[in-house]
Amino acid sequence: MKDPKSEAPYPFQELLGFKMVDWSTDYCRFDLPLGEKHQNRYGIPHGGLYATLLDTVMGFAGCYTGDLDNKRLAMTLSMTTNFLSRPEGDWLIAEGFRTGGGKRSFFARGEVTDSKGTVVATATGVFRYRS
């Protein structure tokens, strides 16, 4: 079995700069060092950045197989995002958790915290496995 954290980043992930830190059954974590390119007009991280991180970690949380040669993919059917706070520090941590589901779809929740541990955004989502 290959290391599940060795999956190559996809192009949008490379563009934004977030990296997988942990991935296991029903769980995923990505970290992102914040930069100027992530800011909106107000000088704070763009809300779309949080949505992207949350969508990514929740999707990955439901797709772990432990074998990179046997990838499982999913697409987002529905996602609700809550923006709670401005981040402090220069790092975001996104964690996703598969919370239920069946053969064709699953449910997940996620949260983004800053480097000081403050929750800055949360989400829930419904995902469908791709065949």
Predicted local confidence at residue 131, as pLDDT: 84
Structural domain containing residue 67: 16-130
Predicted local confidence at residue 8, as pLDDT: 85
Show pLDDT as tens, one digit a residue, over the chain (131 residues): 345 456 888 999 999 999 999 999 999 999 999 999 999 999 999 999 999 999 999 999 999 999 988 999 999 999 999 999 999 999 999 999 999 999 999 999 999 999 999 999 999 999 999 98
The answer as to whether 8 is a domain residue is no
Predicted local confidence at residue 114, as pLDDT: 97
SS3 content of the chain, % helix, strand, coil (to 5): 20, 45, 35
Domain total of the chain:
1
The answer as to whether 4 is a domain residue is no
Domain containing residue 51: CATH number: 3.10.129.10
Quote the pTM value: 0.93
**Distance (Å, rounded) from C-alpha 84 to C-alpha 49?**
14
